Structure formats: structure tokens, C-alpha cells
Amino acid sequence: MKKILLLPMFAVLISILSFLPQDAHAQQLCAYAVFNQPLPQPFTTGTSIPFTVNFGGSFSSIHAVTSYSFFDSTDPFVGGDFYFIDNFGGQQTLPGSPPVTEMIVNQIDPTVTSKFLGGTFSGSYSSQQGSFTLNKLTFCIQQPAIFDVPPTPPDGSTFNIHKGDTISFKVECSDPNPPDTVVLEPFTSLPVGAIFPVETWPIGVITGNPVSGTFSWTPTSAQTVAVKFSCQEQLTTTFHTIHIIVTENTLSITAPPNITVTANTAGGATGVNLGTPTTSGGTPPITITNNAPATFPLGVTLVTWTATDANGNTSIAIQQVTVNPLLVNIDINPKSFPNTFNPNSIGVIPVAILGSSTFDASTVNPSTVKFGPSMAPAIKPALLFDVNGDGKKDMVLNFKIQNTGMVCGQTSATLTGLTKTGVPIQGSDSIKPLPCR
């Protein structure tokens, strides 16, 4: 077992070495360790030799990662052990040794994010695995493959979407050294139904430099997920996490306000403007329908509005449409005011349907006219003449008092009927019954 310990810088450095060439597979700064005394050969268990190592250059963009790599003496780049330093600060376990504190953290420029300044470091090398021949010891600072932001969303980004909506974003990573090849893949399992492009082999990965893929997902339930991607070149792996919060997207529809209209055709009203409903939630496009009839009959009709989204979810709301008869002015017992009558009389009572600038009394169908609580029909042919002196013809009809159902104490009476085209009409007037005996 071999052990490396990085210690505070010696007051006097024995030697400073220039940089080794960059590795062909990654952008690095590398330097040999210089031992402060001759190396014993063989190097035996328990032996500890101090050394120094100098990084004379700097990286303008260093991305701290959490792993390390170890190459043994067979590595063609060096003639001995090769240690890769890529976690700037804190504790790191090197192969076969307990955690050691790295001094690299002191060389990070706080005014420039992740800028490594270089410098000289010291430490000691010891063996815990028996005798062996030690030739060289090399340390390298690695500039790993990185996620390109943009187009990749920033690490730790959170997206809030609704169930049934589709989220899609591009993930791209690259290595600073263009000839290198990087591998991009999901580090964690994708959510159920999510799509991320893959090659046939290696399974689930995309390779290139830069390399990119588009993540796409349409969740079917409310949930929170963290999608973690990895970008790896020969020596380093960088991770990138995107958080997705999925909430319910309940479709809701609100019907237009209730309305009241006047009859304008036989049996009711046509061309009624119902207004426009409003919706919220759901997955577009939203389709809105209703069951309104072409002709609304007299009275109250309930209209059901239905909203349906792209996922087949539905919501309903109810609107009330009231159709009243066409209101006309009538005059009970014309030429008399107040409009008196005797409920016990066996005679008749005249009622005039008054014409106006907006209503032609001659359009009324006399055979359809009814009067009083008992809906008494007219008993004589209708007369058309101006009863109130306004220059408009009025229709006068007579009704048997005993057939009207009017009683003592009654203060108003109503007349109904249809025009010749079937439009319902209605009019009311005050009455004053004579004292009943």
C-alpha cells in the first residue's frame, strides 16, 4: 500500500520543476514530485520521504469534481506513480491511504470563479505494502469535461409544470480539449415515460465533443423528481442535476352569468347571446361545448357548458336562461280610472291591448288571448280602434267576469296571448274591485 500526504509548504524548497506536457486525453497541468533526499532502493514499508511539487501555471476555468484517478507505474505518461488531483480543498482518500488534507484550495483565486493560480506544494510519500522500486511521482491538476450552460439549464435548476404538460430541454457537455471524446448519460434512472436519446452501445450513453441530447417528459401524475446527468471524459466525471416539480392541473370552467331574455319567435326566443365561459387549468387545447337549444322555450332552461382538454379531462358548469313573454301594455275597463269591477257581476269586462311605436296591437291573434286567473277567453270579436288618443290602434276584447276567476280583494289582473306569428305576449294592469256583498 502506498501513501501520499500533502503538507504545508516548506520554508525552503529543494527544487522546482517545470510542467510536464499535457495529457493527450484531458487538459491538465502536471508536475513531478521532487524528493528532498535520495530515494532508498528498494523502498520498504514504513519509509517516509518528503517531497515538493510545483505547478507554475494556472487554469482560468477549473470545475471542482469529487472523484480522483490513480495510474500505476505502467502508465506511459510517467515512469512511476501518477496521482490526479481534482477536488480543490477538503478531504480526499487516495488509493491505499487514509484521507489527507489537500493544499490546493489555497491556490484558488477568490476574485475569479474557479481560477487555479498554481504554486508549489509539499508533502511526504510512504509505503505500507512492502518493498518496491520507486522511480517517479507525478501530480496533475485536471480541467474536466463540463456542462455547457446554456443550452443546458443551470445546475440545480427547478422547473414547475402541470400534470399532462410536456417539459423539454437540451443537455450539452464538452471537453476543453477539442480532440477528446466525452460521454453524456443520465446518472439516475429517468422518470417513467421520459425520453433521452441513446446510442446502441454503450447502452444509454451519447458520445462526442461537444455532445448533446434533448430530455423530454410528459408526466401523468403529480410528483417531484431530480434528474441527474453525468459528463465523463477519460479521467473525470462531472454531474448536473435538474429538479422538476409536477403539480395537478385541474381543469375548471365557469359558465357565463344567468340571463333573462324576451320571447321573439313562436314558442320562445332565438338568437340568444349566452356570453362566453372562462376556463382555467387543463392541458391545451381546451374545447368548449354546450347543449343550448336553437329556440329557448318560455320559462327557465338550464344550459350545460362542458370543457374538455387535450388529455380528455372534463369540467362542467350550468347557466340559467329565462325567457319571458313579450310585455305589452293593457288597460282594463278603458275610459275608467281606477279600473273598477264587480266580482259578482254576470256581465263582461273590456280589456284593451294598447298599440305603441314599438308594438302593433293588430298583430295579436285574438283567439289565443286569455284573461284573469282562470285564463278566460274573449267572447266577442276583437275591435281595433284608438282608445287612449295616442294615434295608435288598440285591440279591445271582452271577457265574462264570472269566467275570469277574479275575486274580491284582487288588485291586479294579467292577460296572455300570442301574436299571429306565435310570439308569446303578456300584460298586466291594476284593478279595484267594488265592495263585495
Q: Helix H segments across 319-409? A: 401-404
> Do 378 and 427 share a structural domain?
yes
> Do 286 and 372 share a structural domain?
no
**Tens digit of each residue's pLDDT (9 = 90 or more) over 308-322:** 998 888 999 999 999
Chosen domain end from 98, 124, 143: 143
**Mean pLDDT, rounded, for 253-259:** 97
> Do 157 and 199 share a structural domain?
yes
Residue written as cell 408526466? 219
**Mean pLDDT, rounded, for 68-83:** 35
Closest C-alpha among 29, 57, 35 to residue 122: 35
> Do 42 and 119 share a structural domain?
yes
CA 270/CA 190 separation, integer angstroms = 56
**Tens digit of each residue's pLDDT (9 = 90 or more) over 93-132:** 333 332 222 333 334 444 444 455 555 656 555 554 444 4
**Mean pLDDT, rounded, for 292-296:** 96
CA 279/CA 306 separation, integer angstroms = 10
Kindly indicate the confidence band of residue 184, based on its pLDDT and cuts at 50, 70 and 90.
confident
How high is the pLDDT of residue 145?
76
CA 64/CA 124 separation, integer angstroms = 24
CA 331/CA 345 separation, integer angstroms = 19
- Considering only residues 260 and 133, tell me which one the structure prediction assigns the higher pLDDT: 260
> Do 155 and 170 share a structural domain?
yes
> Do 133 and 183 share a structural domain?
no
How high is the pLDDT of residue 339?
85
Residue written as cell 511521482? 137
How high is the pLDDT of residue 228?
93
Give the structural domain span for 206.
147-247
> Do 8 and 132 share a structural domain?
yes
- Considering only residues 108 and 374, tell me which one the structure prediction assigns the higher pLDDT: 374
Chosen domain end from 143, 169, 192: 143
How high is the pLDDT of residue 4?
34
**Mean pLDDT, rounded, for 44-58:** 61
> Do 299 and 219 share a structural domain?
no
Kindly indicate the confidence band of residue 84, based on its pLDDT and cuts at 50, 70 and 90.
very low
> Do 112 and 22 share a structural domain?
yes
Q: Tell me which amino acid residue 114 is.
A: S
Of 152-166, 188-202, 398-412, 416-430, least confident by mean pLDDT is 188-202
Of 5-9, 233-237, 298-302, least confident by mean pLDDT is 5-9
**Contact (Cβ atoms closer than 8 angstroms) between residue 133 and residue 218:** no
Residue written as cell 374545447? 287
Chosen domain end from 301, 324, 347: 324
CATH number at 219 reads 2.60.40.10
Kindly indicate the confidence band of residue 55, based on its pLDDT and cuts at 50, 70 and 90.
low
> Do 396 and 313 share a structural domain?
no
Helix (H) or strand (E) segment spanning residue 82:
strand 81-85
**Mean pLDDT, rounded, for 288-302:** 96
**Mean pLDDT, rounded, for 218-232:** 90
CATH number at 416 reads 2.60.40
**Tens digit of each residue's pLDDT (9 = 90 or more) over 130-153:** 444 454 555 555 566 788 888 999
Mind giving me the DSSP string for 121-136?
A: EEEEEEESS--B----
Whether the pLDDT of residue 371 is over 90: the answer is yes
**Mean pLDDT, rounded, for 200-220:** 76
**Contact (Cβ atoms closer than 8 angstroms) between residue 233 and residue 180:** yes
> Do 55 and 161 share a structural domain?
no
The number of distinct structural domains making up the chain is 4
> Do 108 and 9 share a structural domain?
yes
How high is the pLDDT of residue 52?
66
Alpha-carbon 13 to chain mean position: 61
**Tens digit of each residue's pLDDT (9 = 90 or more) over 195-208:** 988 644 444 567 77
How high is the pLDDT of residue 310?
87
Q: What is the mean pLDDT of the chain?
A: 75
How many CB atoms neighbour CB 355 within 10 A? 24
Whether the pLDDT of residue 307 is over 80: the answer is yes
